[in-house]
Amino acid sequence: MMSDIKQPIKEKLAYHPILLGGIALIAGALLVFADAGTRDAIAERQAEDLRASLTQVVRADIHDNNLLKDTIVLHAPLEFADHEAGITFYRARMKGEVVAAAFKVVGMGYSGAIDIMMCVNRDGSIMGVRVISHAETPGLGDKIEAAKSDWINRFSGLSLANRNKQQWAVKKDGGEFDQFSGATITPRAVVRAVHKGLEYFNEHREEILRGKPVHHGGHEVHEGKAVSLSDFAAAQNAANQGARSDVWQRQMNEEQRRVAAFGAQPVKGVRNG
Amino acid sequence: MADYKVIMRDGIWDNNVVMAQMLALCPLLAVTSTATNGLGMGLATLAVLLASNVVVSLLRNIISNEVRIPVFILLIATIVTLVDLGMNAWMHDLHKVLGLFIPLIVTNCAILARAESFASREAVAPAAFDALMMGLGFTLVLVVLGGVREIIGSGTLFANAALLLGNGFSFLDMTLLDNYRGFLLMVLPSGGFLALGFLLAGKSWLDHRKADRAAAEATAARIAAINAMDEDDAEGEGETPPEDGGKA
């Protein structure tokens, strides 16, 4: 089949890099188009997932607003925050007053991150906790899922006021939460993340509850994706500086500098879509 | 002209990805904790294998021997990423179940092996057929292994099948052993190794039995032939006729 002229070309040294480069170029172009073509649809799906996970922890009867449109973003140590922009708080309002806030915390389990959605009442007690995603061992660590066991419901009603620091641990560590037979690391990670989240909520209660209301455009959650790169940089900056509210000012300066440089929107404080 | 019957036998049994080539064990052990997961992984692999075999076969005349491996890897990685993006966008529920496994397909050396040893040498149609058969063979092993581990490990079969195949298939979701406390070892990867070992032993036993039976039949035929000859010709030397020897 191979013609006599074609054979020598294939054996020339330059043919190989050109072939490899050409195919890499085509593959790259394909991926760029595919990414552009699917980005909106994927963001849409993720927003749906988020909505679904919110409805699991926030009772429908306690609020009359759209949680996804009333958000506030605070920097938090990356140790338990989402890898993106610190923590987004979804605020539940009844007649204009914030009655609870839902947010996502991350625990490090036996095999990677455990994403947890939790909702805290205005008074600092937990309304509900759900594990959104995890990669724990099936049959061992997956009892943290509400579908597999009611262990996760144990958190409802607890607060820093009615449980002391020692009690916020699994029984093996002297606390009051059951571990699972054969799996201690997983429940320990969940208890720790929820506890940290609760502490963070208490420390920043005023900001979370009273932060200025947001007036969103039609495009809500995608915004988070669109700015996530710069958010990530900011979050890392924040983490490096040991982010807490006492470094608020430093972050704001950092923020202004970054905004001036890249034209990105401020991350700290209320996000405006 | 490729022999489709041979390709089919090779893919499903004789040269099965797992049971004969011993490839793709990493994704295999990771996902076969349930039959549903095995089925999902198998189908996803089949789709990628089909696409990669077709593309490699189409490009086989321009790919030079020296850079073929990086080119194959590039093609496979691109296809896997496209499938991942597409599923995430348009089959999101399925992606939630399989999302973890799709990147694992890149590490599936069976796909590279088929590109290298088959698709790069054959026309598009046999390459596509080979991909279908190899993928089918792989899927079968995954489902059997997942089923065995699931039944022994947690007492169910095809748990959460509805998540993968839609609500129409929820009848597949069976609890075979009520109040079963589970046998953790089978759920963990070590259980996968154990089950795989028994599966391989089973195939080997079947193959040996088949070979033994064929040999026994040949011997019987030979003896029968000798006896017949003895009866026909009482003075004969009883030598085996050459055509019987050929048959054996």
Average pLDDT, chain B: 84
Closest CA relative to residue B226, chosen from B217, B237, B235: B237
Nearest to B64 among A19, A42, A182 (CB): A19
Residue contacts between A and B (CB atoms, under 8 Å): 71
Interface contact A38-B66, CB threshold 8 A:
no
Best mutation target among B59, B66, B154 (most A Cβ atoms within 10 Å) is B66
Q: What is the mean pLDDT of residues A164-186?
A: 88
Query: What was the pLDDT predicted at A272?
Result: 35
CB contacts of B86 in chain A (<8 Å) are: 34, 38
Q: What residue type is A219 in one-letter code? A: H
Query: What was the pLDDT predicted at A246?
Result: 37
Query: What was the pLDDT predicted at B241?
Result: 53
| Domain annotation covers residue A46 | no
Q: DSSP string spanning A22-38?
A: HHHHHHHHHHHHHHHHH
Shortest CA gap B187–chain A (Å): 7
| Domain annotation covers residue B167 | yes
Question: A137 touching B, CB under 8 A?
Answer: yes
Nearest CA in chain B to A35: B85
Q: How many domains does chain B have?
A: 1
Please state whether the predicted TM-score (pTM) of the whole model is above 0.80. no
* pLDDT band per the 50, 70, 90 thresholds, residue A149: confident
| Domain annotation covers residue A267 | no
What is the phi/psi pair of residue A65, to 5°? -115, 175
Q: What percent of chain A has pLDDT over 70?
A: 71
| Domain annotation covers residue A1 | no
Closest CA relative to residue B56, chosen from B126, B135, B133, B139: B126
Shortest CA gap A34–chain B (Å): 7
Query: What was the pLDDT predicted at A249?
Result: 41
Tokens linked to A83? 């890898």
* Distances in whole angstroms, Cα of residue A160 to Cα of each of A116, A200, B124: 18, 11, 66
Query: What was the pLDDT predicted at A222?
Result: 35
| Domain annotation covers residue B234 | no
For B7-37, what is each residue's pLDDT tens digit? 988 888 888 888 888 888 877 887 788 888 8
Most confident of A2-11, A216-225, B105-114, B135-144: B135-144
Interface contact B64-A16, CB threshold 8 A:
yes
| Domain annotation covers residue A144 | yes
Tokens linked to B61? 């005349």
Interface contact B154-A139, CB threshold 8 A:
yes
Shortest CA gap B71–chain A (Å): 6
Q: What percent of chain B has pLDDT over 90?
A: 40
Q: How many domains does chain A have?
A: 1
Interface contact A31-B82, CB threshold 8 A:
yes
The residue range of the domain holding B26 is 4-204
| Domain annotation covers residue A221 | yes
| Domain annotation covers residue B224 | no
User: Is pLDDT above 80 for A164?
Assistant: yes
Cα–Cα distance measured from residue B244 to residue B222, given in angstroms and rounded to the nearest whole number: 6
| Domain annotation covers residue A12 | no
CB contacts of A15 in chain B (<8 Å) are: 64
Interface contact B62-A19, CB threshold 8 A:
yes
User: Is pLDDT above 70 for A58?
Assistant: yes
Which residue blocks in A88-227 are alpha helix, DSSP H?
A: 185-203, 205-210, 222-226
Query: What was the pLDDT predicted at B130?
Result: 94
| Domain annotation covers residue B196 | yes
Query: What was the pLDDT predicted at A268?
Result: 39
Nearest to B74 among A27, A35, A48 (CB): A27
User: Is pLDDT above 60 for B246?
Assistant: no
* pLDDT band per the 50, 70, 90 thresholds, residue A267: very low
Cα–Cα distance measured from residue B111 to residue B97, given in angstroms and rounded to the nearest whole number: 22
- Most distant CA pair in chain B, distance: 83
CB contacts of B62 in chain A (<8 Å) are: 10, 19
Cβ under 8 Å to B: A residues 219-238: none
| Domain annotation covers residue A234 | yes
Average pLDDT, chain A: 75
Cα–Cα distance measured from residue A223 to residue A266, given in angstroms and rounded to the nearest whole number: 12
Which residues, in sequence order, are bridge partners of residue B138?
A: none
B122 versus A266: the higher-pLDDT residue is B122
The residues on B that touch A, with CB distances below 8 Å, are 33-34, 59, 61-64, 66-67, 70-71, 74-75, 77-78, 81-82, 85-86, 88-90, 92, 96, 100, 153-154, 182, 184, 187-188
* Distances in whole angstroms, Cα of residue B158 to Cα of each of A134, B146, B148, B198: 21, 9, 11, 21
Best mutation target among B31, B56, B63, B67 (most A Cβ atoms within 10 Å) is B67
| Domain annotation covers residue A176 | yes
Nearest CA in chain A to B59: A23
Interface contact A27-B66, CB threshold 8 A:
no
CB contacts of A37 in chain B (<8 Å) are: 89
Tokens linked to A24? 């890499």
For B183-213, what is each residue's pLDDT tens digit? 878 878 888 899 999 999 999 999 999 999 9
Cα–Cα distance measured from residue B232 to residue B226, given in angstroms and rounded to the nearest whole number: 10
Cβ contact B172:B161 at 8 Å = yes
For B37-46, what is each residue's pLDDT tens digit? 888 888 889 9
